[in-house]
């Protein structure tokens, strides 16, 4: 255990977050997501909800302020609007950044294409459908 560090953050996840550069993305995906088919760097967090993983990541990683939407979720295939988990992702982003963050919904196949380019993918234990989000890393200034 370390002081002031969320205890669910594993050493491999901490290393990935540290290695990521400005503009790199990390995906947090649900247990049904085809993780290994999409990305070669899969980090496992079994039994932990995707929203909890996002909170832990955002306790350390700033979101990009140079893009309109530094986070993106997968839109429901049936077009019924945002999935129920979307509000929790939105709240986690807003709380971590201390402001309203634009979280966009993107088509399933567009989401897959972006995941393939992510620096890493966190395969959570989330069982709710569409429990998937992309987070784009921002910068920390010299005074932080």
3-state secondary structure of 17: helix
Strands (E), the chain: 25-29, 42-45, 71-74, 103-106, 120-124, 133-136
Please say whether the beta carbons of 53 and 45 come within 8 A: yes
Question: How far apart, in whole angstroms, are the C-alpha atoms of residue 53 and residue 8?
Answer: 8
Please say whether the beta carbons of 96 and 59 come within 8 A: yes
For 57, half-sphere exposure in the C-beta direction (CA atoms, 13 angstrom radius) is 34
What are the phi and psi torsion angles at 5 (to 5°)?
Answer: -125, 125
22 given a catalytic annotation: yes
Active-site residue, from 5, 15, 19, 22? 22
Catalytically active residues are 22
């Amino acid at each position: 255990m370390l002081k002031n560090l969320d205890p669910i953050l594993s050493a491999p996840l901490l290393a990935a977050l540290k290695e990521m550069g400005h503009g790199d993305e990390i995906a947090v995906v649900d247990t049904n997501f085809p993780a290994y088919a999409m990305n070669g760097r899969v980090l496992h967090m079994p039994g932990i909800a995707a929203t909890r993983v996002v909170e832990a990541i955002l306790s350390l990683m700033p979101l990009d302020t140079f893009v309109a939407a530094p986070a993106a979720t997968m839109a429901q295939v049936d077009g019924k609007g945002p999935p129920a988990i979307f509000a929790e992702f939105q709240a986690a982003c807003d709380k971590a950044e201390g402001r309203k963050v634009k979280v966009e919904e993107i088509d399933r196949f567009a989401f897959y294409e972006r995941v393939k380019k992510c620096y890493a993918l966190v395969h959570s234990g989330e069982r709710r459908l569409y429990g998937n989000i992309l987070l784009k890393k921002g910068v920390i200034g010299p005074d932080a």
